[in-house]
Amino acid sequence: MAKTILIPTDFTVESLNLAKTALENNSNTTEKLRIILVYGQWTSSSITELLFYSKGQILEVLENEEFKCSCKMLLAKYESIIDQMSIDIFSGTNQNAFENYLEGNKVTEAYIPRNYKLKLKNRNSFNLIPFFTKSKTQLFEVNWNTVSLENSENQKNEISSLFFTHGQIAH
Amino acid sequence: MKLQNKIIYILLTAFIGYTLLFSGFIYYSISIFAFTDFYKRLEIRAIATAKIELEKQKDSNVVQQLRQDYLEPLTNEQHLILEDINEETVVNDPRLDKYNKSFLNEVVTEGIGTYSQQNVFIYGTIYTTPDQKNHLVILSAENYFIANHLAYLRNLIFTSLAIAFLLIVVFSIMFSRKIIEPIQNIIKKTKKIGSENLHMRLEVPENNDSVRELAQTFNDMLNRLETSFETQKNFISNASHELNTPLTSIIGEADVSLSKLRKPEDYIESLNAILDEAEKLQKKTQALLLLAQTGFDGKRQKFGKVRMDQLILDVKETVEKIQTKNKISLDFSLLPENPLLLKVLGNEQLLHLAVSNIVLNACKYSDGQTVNIALAVMDGSIIIIVKDNGIGIPSDEIDYIYDPYFRASNTKNHEGHGIGLPLARNIIRIHDGELRVSSTLNKGTTVEIHLPKGDFVL
C-alpha cells in the first residue's frame, strides 16, 4: 500500500525543502510514496465563480516556473519511490474539514516547517499550520538553515534555495 | 521580375478573369431569358387574337376585354391571319412574301415557328377552330426589352468592369506593398549591419508569421556571427588568460625548489607537480586552439559523453589547487537515481574550462567564504548551480557581464581580465545550453548553467 505524505506549500522553491526532507526521510522504505502539496485558499462565495471553478486554473496562477522546475528535480531524484506527486488546494474552514481531508486522502504523515513561515499569496489564502498542529496525524517538524546569511525576499524563489540547506527533522 | 509585380500580375489575372466570366455569364443568361420570354408573350397574344377573330362566339368579348385590360401593348404589334388554309400551297401565298420561307415551312410542318429580324420578333402558329379548319396566325412585334434594356445592361457591365479593373489594380498594388513591406524593412536593416556593428539586431514583429520567423532566423545567425567574431578577436587575450594560471604555478613551484638545495625526493615531487601543471597547460592550449580553429561550428568539434558529476568533482579539485583559501561545498542531494540523466553530449575540456572559470570567479570574489556547487536534473536538462556569498554584481551592470574585458565597478581590488565569463558563455552556447546569472550587491551571486541532456541509452 502506498504511503501518503501531506506537505503544506506556499509555491516558493524554499518551501519545497519540506518535501525534500520528507523524501530523504523515507528514501529507504519499500513502500511507494504519494506526496500531496497542499495550499490553503477559500473558494469564492459567488455562484458564477463557483460554476466555472477549476482547480487547475487556480493552481496555474499560483505556480511559477522555478517552482515547477524544482518539483521536476525532486521527481527526477526520487522517481523510484514516488508513486504520485500532486498539488492540491484545501478550502475547508474548520478542524473537522481538515480531519476529513486527511481521512479522505489517507494521509499517514505530515511535515511542517519549524523556523520558516509560509507566505500567503493572496487575500483568500489562509495559514494551514494551525490545522496541522491540532490534527491527530503523525507530524514531523522540519528545520533547515539557509546558507545565505540574510534572506532577501526575491531569493526565496531561486532554484538554488532548494540546495545548501541541510534540512533535518527537529525533535 | 520583381516579386511585387509578380504578385500584382497574379492577382490581376485571377480577379479580372473571374469578373469577366461572371459578367459574361450574367449577360448571356439574361439575353436568353429575354428571347424565350418574348416568344411566350407573342404566343399568348397570337392565340388570343385568333380566338377573337376566328371564333365569333359570345364570350369572345370577354377575351377581348381581358386582352385590353391585362396584356401590355407591344411596340409595332402587327398580326396576320390566313383563314382556312391549304397546308401545301399556303407557303407561296403572296401575302406572306415578306416572311422568311424556312420560317413558314417550319410553321406548317411543326405547327409553331419563331424567328427574329433585327428587333422585330415574329411568331407563327397553326390555329385549329372547333370546326376542324386550320388557320395560319402570324404575330410580329418589336422587342423593346432587347432593344433598350439589354443594351443598358451591356453598358452597365462594361462600366462596372472598368471600375472593377481600377479597384483591383489599386487593391493588388496595396496588397503586394503590404506583403513586401516587412521583407523590405528586413533587407534595409540587414544592410545596415556590418562587421563593426554586429551587436545590432532586427526587430522581431509581434504577429506570428513567416516574417517573424525570418527575422528570428536572421537574429540567431547574427548571434552566432557575433560570438564567433568576438572569440576570434579575443583569442589571444583568452589564451593568455587561460595559460597564465598553470604557468604561474609552474614558475612558483620551480622558484620554491630552486630557493635552496633539497633532497632528491623533494625535487621529484616538485617536478611531478610541474609536469602535472604542464599537462594541464597543454590540454588548455589544445582546447583553445580547437575553439579558435573551429569557430562556432558545433559539428566540427569532437563531442562525446561527459558525466557532469565527475566533471564537477574534477573542477572542484582543479579549483582547490589554484584557490587554496576557499572552501568548496558540493550538494549532490538531488542527484537522480539514473546515471544516464547526468550525461551531456559535449566536449569535456571545454566544459571543464567553462565550469572551472565560473567556480574560480565565485571563489575569487567571495574572499574565502564557502562556495556552493549543486547539480540537479529536471526533465531534459541538467542544471549546475554555483552560489557564492561574495561581493555580487551591481544591478545596473549585470547586462554587460558578458562583454569581453568588462569588469564590474566593485572589482577594483581583485585581479582579473574580464574574459572568463564571456569564454564560459561561449562554451555553454556551443553546447546549446544557457547561462543565467542573478546577483545582489554585497550578498552574493548565483550562476545557473542549464545544459541539455544527451540522449544516451544504456
Of residues B198 and B259, more confidence is placed in B259
Contact A147 B446 (CB under 8 A): no
Considering B202, B217, B232, which residue would you say is the last residue of a domain? Answer: B217
Residue from B192, B166, B178, B237 nearest B405 by CA: B237
Q: What is the DSSP letter of A103?
A: H
Give the pLDDT mean for B228-253: 75
Instruction: Quote helix, strand, coil % in chain A, to nearest 5.
Output: 35, 25, 40
- Please state the φ and ψ torsions of residue A31, each to the nearest 5 degrees: -75, 150
Does some domain include residue B178? Answer: no
Contacting A with CB below 8 Å, chain B residues are: 329, 331, 333-338, 341, 370, 372, 374, 376-379, 383, 385, 387, 389, 438, 440, 443-444, 446, 448
- Based on the fold, state whether residues B229 and B377 are members of the same structural domain: no
Let me know: does A36 contact A6? Beta carbons within 8 Å: yes
Give the pLDDT mean for B260-267: 89
Q: Considering only alpha carbons, which residue of chain A is nearest residue B333?
A: A163
Considering B151, B173, B201, which residue would you say is the last residue of a domain? Answer: B151
- Per-residue pLDDT of B182-218, as tens digits, reads 888 888 888 888 877 877 888 887 876 888 888 888 8
- Based on the fold, state whether residues B138 and B208 are members of the same structural domain: no
- Max avg pLDDT among B1-15, B22-36, B222-236: B22-36
Query: Sign of the CA dihedral B404, B405, B408, B414?
Result: positive
**Single pTM value for the model:** 0.55
**Beta sheet of B112-117, edge-to-edge order:** B75-82, B134-142, B120-128, B112-117
Which residues contact residue A26 at a Cβ distance below 8 angstroms, ignoring those fewer than 6 apart? A3, A5, A33, A81
- Per-residue pLDDT of A74-131, as tens digits, reads 888 888 888 889 999 998 888 999 999 999 999 988 988 888 888 888 888 888 888 9
Nearest to B389 among A74, A77, A148 (CB): A148
Q: Please report the number of interchain residue pairs, chain A to chain B, with beta-carbon separation below 8 angstroms.
A: 74
Residue A27 in contact with partner chain B when CB distance is under 8 A: no
Please tell me the predicted confidence (pLDDT) of residue A157. 61
- Per-residue pLDDT of B90-126, as tens digits, reads 777 777 777 888 888 888 888 888 888 877 888 888 8
Asked whether the predicted pLDDT for residue A152 surpasses 50, the reply is no
- Based on the fold, state whether residues B11 and B141 are members of the same structural domain: yes
Residue A78 in contact with partner chain B when CB distance is under 8 A: yes
Q: Considering only alpha carbons, which residue of chain B is nearest residue A66?
A: B378
The CATH number covering residue B236 comes to: 1.10.287
- Per-residue pLDDT of A34-54, as tens digits, reads 999 999 988 888 888 888 888
Q: Where are the alpha helices (H) located in B303-399, listed in sequence order?
A: 308-322, 348-364
Let me know: does B443 contact B389? Beta carbons within 8 Å: yes
Considering B270, B301, B332, which residue would you say is the last residue of a domain? Answer: B301
- Based on the fold, state whether residues B318 and B285 are members of the same structural domain: no
Residue A99 in contact with partner chain B when CB distance is under 8 A: no
Q: Considering only alpha carbons, which residue of chain B is nearest residue A154?
A: B440
Please tell me the predicted confidence (pLDDT) of residue A148. 43
With contacts defined as CB-CB under 8 Å, which chain B residues touch A79? 336-338
Does some domain include residue B169? Answer: no
Grid coordinates of A97: 474539514
**Chain A interface test: which of B333, B341, B435, B446 (most A C-beta within 10 Å):** B333
Averaged pLDDT score across all residues of chain B: 82
pLDDT class of B26 with cuts at 50, 70, 90: very high
Q: How many domains does chain B have?
A: 4
- Based on the fold, state whether residues B97 and B241 are members of the same structural domain: no
Q: Is the ipTM of this complex over 0.85?
A: no
Does some domain include residue B184? Answer: no
Asked whether the predicted pLDDT for residue B228 surpasses 60, the reply is yes
Contact B374 A76 (CB under 8 A): no
Does some domain include residue B238? Answer: yes
- Based on the fold, state whether residues B333 and B323 are members of the same structural domain: yes
Asked whether the predicted pLDDT for residue B25 surpasses 90, the reply is yes
Asked whether the predicted pLDDT for residue B321 surpasses 70, the reply is yes
Let me know: does B4 contact B176? Beta carbons within 8 Å: yes
The CATH number covering residue B83 comes to: 3.30.450
Helix axes B150-192, B210-258, angle to 10 degrees: 10
Grid coordinates of B92: 407561296
Which domains are present in chain A? Answer: 3-170 (3.40.50.620)
Range of the domain at B380: 305-458
Residue B215 identity: A
- Based on the fold, state whether residues B319 and B445 are members of the same structural domain: yes
Let me know: does B134 contact B84? Beta carbons within 8 Å: yes
Please tell me the predicted confidence (pLDDT) of residue B232. 67
Q: How far is B350 from chain A (nearest CA, A)?
A: 24
Asked whether the predicted pLDDT for residue B448 surpasses 60, the reply is yes
